[in-house]
Amino acid sequence: MKFFLDTADVEEVREAVAWGLLDGVTTNPSLVAKTGKTFREVLCDIAEAVPGPVSAEVTATDMAGMLDQAHEYADLASNIVIKIPLIVEGLKTVKKLSEEGIKTNVTLCFSSTQALLAAKAGATYVSPFVGRLDDIGHEGIELIREIRTIFDNYDFGTQILVASARGPIHVRDVAIIGADVVTLPFKVFEMLAKHPLTDSGLEKFLDDWKKVPQDKKPEGGA
């Protein structure tokens, strides 16, 4: 499973790239708004910092406007993926962009039939939002299970990019189901590596190690 960072903060991207575990980045207008930078600046910095795909979201809601923005963003760097909302104008735009060979990420997906349409339109990725479904009392994870089954039934190549993942349990569950990608806030990415028993176990091993007689280094040796 691939890991993307859900952020517009280039420092977080650089840190995750340094771990050697990051496959790409997703951004959205709300995340970009927090940076105080222009969208172009954010995109260029992030696209340079990570070797994988970087999702850039259009804000137009009609096909002509979405296409204009898509072409503008796609020209900024070769790893830009155009993120498009799951509305009819968006699906038409995805179809056109996929014919042009431009990669797309269809976002704000909340049902399996929406995901099916995105796949039929030729989307590279579809982003179901698990956390926001949980927030309104639905089971976000069930949506991932449904989409996985439907895409496998028909051999769709569209990748399931799980969005709005709020913690390690979401990551575990979607990995078991077989999602292709999960995008995470940096703090959740960090949580994946942490366990209190690892920390206490390491502390104990290091304390005990101090009690082990150490070999003397040979004199003049390196």
User: CA-to-CA distance for 49 and 167, rounded, in angstroms?
Assistant: 25
DSSP 40-81: HHHHHHHHHH-SS-EEEE----SHHHHHHHHHHHHTT-TTEE
**Residue from 52, 131, 167, 178 binding ligand E4P (CB under 6 A):** 131
Residue 7 sits in the site that holds ligand E4P (CB under 6 A): no
CA angle 48, 17, 148 (to 5 degrees): 100
Q: Total residues contacting ligand E4P (rule CB under 6 A)?
A: 11
Q: Output the smallest distance, CB 74 to ligand E4P, in A.
A: 18
Nearer to ligand E4P, 61 or 154 (CB): 61
In the residue annotation, 83 being an active-site residue is answered as yes
Q: Does 129 bind ligand E4P (CB under 6 A)?
A: yes
Tell me which residues in 96-115 interact with ligand E4P (CB under 6 A).
Answer: 107
Q: What x-and-dash track marks residues 164-193 binding ligand E4P by CB under 6 A?
A: x------------------x----------
Using CB under 6 A, which of 93, 112, 124, 127 touches ligand E4P? Answer: 127
Question: What is the rounded CA–CA span in Å between residue 181 and residue 175?
Answer: 9
Burial class, 218, CB count within 10 angstroms (exposed 0-12 / middle 13-18 / buried 19+): exposed
Over the window 51 to 80, marking each residue x when it contacts ligand E4P by CB under 6 A and - when it does not, the resulting string is ------------------------------
Q: Which is nearer to ligand E4P, 116 or 188 (CB)?
A: 188
Active-site hit among 34, 83, 120, 211: 83
Nearest to 115 by CA among 135, 134, 133, 137: 133
Figure out which of the listed residues 3, 16, 26, 143 binds ligand E4P, where binding follows CB under 6 A.
Answer: 26
Residue 9 CB neighbours (<10 A) = 21
- C-alpha span between 136 and 11 (Å, rounded): 32
Binding residues for ligand E4P, per CB under 6 A?
Answer: 6, 26, 28, 107, 127, 129, 131-132, 163-164, 183
